[in-house]
Copies of this chain bind each other. A is one copy, B any other.
Amino acid sequence: MAGPPRLFVDAAGLAAGQTVALTGGQTHYLAHVLRRRPGDPVRVFNGHDGEWLARLEGLSGRGGSARLDRRTRPQPPPAASPWLCFALVKRGPLDLIAGKATELGCTRLIPVTTRFTDMPRLSIGRLRVQAVEAAEQCGRLTVPAVDEPVGLAERLTDWPAERSLIVCAERGAAPPLTTVAAALAGRPAALLIGPEGGFSPEELDALRKLDFAHLCHLGPRVLRAETAAIAALACWQAVAGDWADGRTEPAADAPF
């Protein structure tokens, strides 16, 4: 995106004059890919205190630092942004889901296991890296939370009653996602995506019994899990989320 590189920093209470630490990954990218040097400007955010213009200080393979100059964007108030609840799939598709869901404004990534889950060894840290890199690139000022994976049934036992669960069902009678999204526009929601092979009949029956669950379909073709996750989040944001308004500012500067 345009402007100085954006960097997520794991630091609290950003303030003018403060020096924040950069990771080895960030400094390697800055020095060897973007050819940046000490003194060059960067933009820094921590998910809480808005976006700050900063100057690079040290840059080494083990890390570096930047000194905060001034705040260039305020932190927006928390929005009713969608969560994404998704069955574990293979590593490549999981990376895609984490990165693209972040670009699409998801604020919480909830991996679950289901009857037909193709269960890999999942690194939460790896998903978080994908989410951070996508947040740096897409201009948002937050990074989605990444939950530890649990069984779907267990995850739903303490589900927050006010947050609708939009179940993207691969088979069976259901309305299109747009119909469900229009009815729930502006309210807290999570999209649930099954594994390759879909949910089991027993899982779908159990989901239908939940007061907060709404089944929907994603069209006449069988989508791969990662395609379904990206498509569902995009449609939710377009119909019920933060795509609704006309745009008058460059996207990179739009508050969100």
Report the count of interface residues on A (CB-CB < 8 A): 51
Of the candidate stretches A20-28, A33-41, A148-156, A165-173, the one touching chain B is A165-173
Q: Interface readout for A212-234 with B: 1 if CB under 8 Å, 0 if not?
A: 00000111111110010011101
Q: Is A252 an interface residue (CB 8 A)?
A: yes
- A223 / chain B contacts, CB cutoff of 8 Å: 103-104, 138
Contact A219–B235 (Cβ < 8 Å):
no
* Pair B174/A246 contact, Cβ less than 8 Å: yes
- Contact of A103 with B224 at beta-carbon distance under 8 Å, contacts A171-B251, A176-B245 already known: yes
Expressed in whole angstroms, the Cα–Cα distance for A61 and B246 within the complex equals 55
Task: Report chain B residues within 8 Å CB of A137.
Answer: 222, 224
* Closest chain B CB from A205 CB (angstroms): 16
B contact residues around A100 at 8 Å (CB): 227, 230
Does A243 touch B at the CB level, under 8 Å? yes
11 further contact pairs, Cβ within 8 A, besides A171-B252, A176-B243, A176-B247: A96-B96, A104-B219, A104-B231, A138-B224, A170-B250, A175-B247, A178-B239, A217-B246, A217-B251, A219-B238, A221-B256
The 5 tightest CB contacts between A and B, nearest first, are A231-B234, A220-B254, A219-B243, A171-B250, A138-B221
Residues of A within 8 A of B (CB): 1, 96, 100, 103-105, 137-140, 170-179, 217-224, 227, 230-232, 234-235, 237-239, 241-248, 250-252, 254-256
